[in-house]
Each structure stands twice: as C-alpha cells, then as structure tokens.
C-alpha cells in the first residue's frame, strides 16, 4: 500500500455536528478561549511582570520578552478561535432565522 493512499476511517467520533454534545464542547472551548483573552489582555496591559512567582534570581529580560511574545500569540489564537466559534453557532442557528 502506498503511503499516499487514504485509509478508510474505522470509527467516526462525531457523526452529527449539530448534536447537543458538539454544541457543548464548542461552547466550552469558547469559554476557555474567552478566559484566555481576558488573562492575556490583562497581562499585556501590564507587561514586564509575569503573573507567576519569579525564580530566586529574578526574571531575565529575555525570558520576559519570550513570555510577552507567547501571550501576544496566544491572544491572537484565542481571538481566531472565537471567530470560529461564532461561525459555528451562526451556521447552526441560521436555518432558525430564515
């Protein structure tokens, strides 16, 4: 068998994307990402001091810059995730409003 051939799926995990469980999981993911936006936004408004205790010798400037970059990229990721979640719920609810 070639490595490029697609194997048939043996088990489908989510057969109905409009089910209660799918909506619950996507809603939970949205809540999780909204909290990420809150905490990362608050951290980026007060840069320089990470929200967890420093090591005994204090924070190195390069570590603080790395954490600032990670918070910024996580903030962008969380915003994009909320765009996905908004699209998911509006595509489910759109037949109700037609």
* pLDDT, tens digit (0-9, with 9 covering 90-100), for 35-70: 999 998 888 888 667 778 888 988 888 988 888 899
Quick check: is 97 in a domain?
yes
Q: What is the reported pTM?
A: 0.72
* Structural domains of the chain, count: 1
* Residue 85 placed within a domain: yes
> Token pair for residue 82?
């909320």
Mean pLDDT of 4-9: 55
Asked if the structure places residue 86 within a domain, the reply is: yes
The pLDDT of 60-83, averaged and rounded, is 91
Which residue bears the tokens 């990721």?
A: 77
> What number is the average pLDDT over the span 5-16?
61
Residue 66 belongs to a domain: yes
Cβ-based neighbours of 47, under 8 Å, separated by 6 or more: 64, 68
Burial class (CB in 10 A: 0-12, 13-18, 19+), 43: buried
pLDDT score, position 82: 95
Q: Is residue 67 part of a domain?
A: yes
In a domain, 71, yes or no: yes
Q: Is 53 part of any domain? A: no
| 37 neighbors 73 (Cβ within 8 angstroms) | no
Kindly report the average pLDDT of the chain as a whole number.
81
The verdict on residue 54 lying in a domain is: no
What's the rounded mean pLDDT across residues 10-17?
A: 66
Query: In this structure, what are the phi and psi dihedrals at residue 47, rounded to the nearest 5 degrees?
Result: -70, 160
What does the pLDDT read at residue 9? 57
Q: Note down the domain range covering 85.
A: 33-47+61-98
């Amino acid at each position: 068998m070639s490595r490029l051939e697609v194997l048939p799926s043996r088990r489908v995990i989510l057969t109905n994307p409009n089910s209660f469980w799918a909506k619950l999981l996507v809603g939970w993911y949205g809540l999780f990402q909204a909290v990420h936006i809150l905490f990362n936004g608050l951290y980026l408004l007060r840069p320089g001091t990470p929200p967890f205790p420093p090591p005994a010798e204090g924070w190195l400037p390069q570590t603080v810059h790395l954490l600032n970059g990670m918070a910024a990229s996580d903030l962008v990721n969380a915003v994009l995730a909320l765009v996905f979640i908004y699209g998911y719920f509006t595509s489910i609810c759109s037949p109700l409003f037609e």
